[in-house]
Amino acid sequence: MQDAPHPATAPDTDVSQPWNKDNQAWWDWYVSLADNEGEITAFEPAPPLPDMPLPGDDAVIAELARPYPLSPDDVAFFRTNGFIKLKGVFSPGAVLKLRAELVRQLQAAFGTDVDGGVQDRFLSLEMVWTDNPLLRAYVLSPRVAKICADLLGVRAVRLYHDNVLSKQPGCGRTPWHFDDHHFPLDTHDVVTAWAPAQAIPLAMGPLAFAHPLDVHTLVDAVAFEKSSTSYDRGVAETFRRHNVAVDETPFEIGEVSFHHNLSFHTAARNRTDRSRIVLANTYYADGARVVEAPTMVSGDWQKFMPGVGPGEVAASPLNPVCWPVPGAGDE
Ligand SMILES: O=C(O)CCC(=O)C(=O)O
């Protein structure tokens, strides 16, 4: 007979309770689950931001509505690998404008100079689109949402939520995970558009993807542990043992990645002197329902779909259809 685990060392795997703090507290908890070795002793200078005038709002809004030339090879790559990085989704001007607005929002929310040196933290803001017309154009962008619908092969996608993510200089790794764990939706037709608000060199911690998509099955047996780095270490060790390929490459300005909710991903520490600011928006196939039993790993999900309960269709006023554009005759 096997010994029962000692209570002091038993893994802490029960995530069945709801998350009862805010979204920033969720991220503070989540990044604490990453394995980080050693101190960062020297910070690399980040590449300079492009020196150019910011475009006007109307020009950016028009750009964000124009279709992107997605090829059949792009779609095939995404379906095999669970992610794709596409260059030129945003113009350099649209990226600079996004960064300026996100820095303003982060500074207002956290009362700190977001670009002012080492702060070690992973800052997050959500629901920035509801009362900010410029950010709404980025979050509800027909250009981005059509890419998501075409990658998934679905007719219509809704917004799950927006997510402003600022990995401050000195902040540690993002632990290995897949988003199926996070989003309480009963579908796998879910994709996140991860849009950097500057170029991201390797030293800044670009999002990195294990591939092909089905490598998630290799780590099904790794138990998620909510108060240690053991899940992150278990996934990394399993991927190493199976020689799983990982795409960890820089993002050029305007490049956006798209990942499926079964795609395993991670991001390295930010070893540069500038915050790594990203707008990560998640979209899902219209018609999806909320799962019966969301967990604490789904964080503040009710804030993103108010009034929608477990088992119900996820279609609150905060989950608009982003593609096809409502009222544009393509519905
Ligand atoms: O920005 C990061 O480091 C993590 C983001 C992420 O995991 C996601 O958007 O799915």
b/e per residue, 261-289, with b = 16+ CB within 10 A?
Answer: bbbbbbbbbbbbbbbbbbbbbbbbbbebb
Q: What spacing in Å lies between the alpha carbon of 301 and ligand 1's midpoint?
A: 16
For atom 1 of ligand 1, the residue with the nearest CA is 165
Res 329: pLDDT: 65
**Would 106 be classed as within a structural domain?**
yes
- CB hemisphere CA count around 53 (13 angstroms): 4
Q: What spacing in Å lies between the alpha carbon of 69 and ligand 1's midpoint?
A: 25
Q: What spacing in Å lies between the alpha carbon of 259 and ligand 1's midpoint?
A: 10
The tokens 């219509």 sit on which residue?
156
Evaluate whether 120 touches 31 at the Cβ level (below 8 Å): no
The atom of ligand 1 lying closest to the CA of 278 is 1
279 lines ligand 1 (CB under 6 A): no
Q: Would you state the structure tokens that stand for residue 76, as one six-digit string? A: 């095939």
Q: What spacing in Å lies between the alpha carbon of 139 and ligand 1's midpoint?
A: 16
**Would 5 be classed as within a structural domain?**
no
Q: What is the largest CA-CA distance in the chain?
A: 72
Distance CA 300, CA 144 (A): 24
Count of the separate structural domains present in the chain: 1
192 lines ligand 1 (CB under 6 A): yes
> Which residues have C-beta within 8 Å of that of residue 49, sequence separation ≥ 6?
96, 99, 198
**Would 66 be classed as within a structural domain?**
yes
**Would 256 be classed as within a structural domain?**
yes
Res 23: pLDDT: 84
The atom of ligand 1 lying closest to the CA of 205 is 3
258 lines ligand 1 (CB under 6 A): no
Distance CA 264, CA 246 (A): 9
Res 10: pLDDT: 64
Res 331: pLDDT: 47
Domain that holds residue 146: 23-34+46-316
Res 111: pLDDT: 86
267 lines ligand 1 (CB under 6 A): yes
**Would 255 be classed as within a structural domain?**
yes
Res 330: pLDDT: 52
E strands within the chain?
83-86, 122-125, 157-161, 164-167, 174-177, 190-196, 207-211, 245-247, 256-260, 265-267, 276-285, 321-323
For atom 9 of ligand 1, the residue with the nearest CA is 280
Measured in whole angstroms, how far is the alpha carbon of residue 230 from the centre of its chain?
22
Res 9: pLDDT: 60
**Residue 113's CATH number:** 2.60.120.620
**Cis upstream peptide for 212 (omega within 30°):** yes
**Would 17 be classed as within a structural domain?**
no
Q: What spacing in Å lies between the alpha carbon of 207 and ligand 1's midpoint?
A: 7
The atom of ligand 1 lying closest to the CA of 177 is 7
The atom of ligand 1 lying closest to the CA of 280 is 9
pLDDT tens digits in sequence order for the chain, 331 residues long: 444 445 456 677 777 777 888 888 889 999 999 999 888 888 999 999 999 999 999 999 999 999 999 999 999 999 999 999 999 999 999 999 999 999 999 999 998 788 776 678 999 999 999 999 999 999 999 999 999 999 999 999 999 999 999 999 999 999 999 999 889 999 999 999 999 999 999 999 999 999 999 999 999 999 998 889 999 999 999 999 999 999 999 999 999 999 999 999 999 999 999 999 999 999 999 999 999 988 777 778 889 999 999 999 999 999 999 999 988 865 4
**Would 41 be classed as within a structural domain?**
no
Q: What spacing in Å lies between the alpha carbon of 320 and ligand 1's midpoint?
A: 22
191 lines ligand 1 (CB under 6 A): no
Q: What spacing in Å lies between the alpha carbon of 14 and ligand 1's midpoint?
A: 23
CA-nearest of 222, 312, 235 to 266 is 235
Distance CA 105, CA 128 (A): 8
**Would 235 be classed as within a structural domain?**
yes
Res 214: pLDDT: 98
The atom of ligand 1 lying closest to the CA of 194 is 9
Res 118: pLDDT: 66
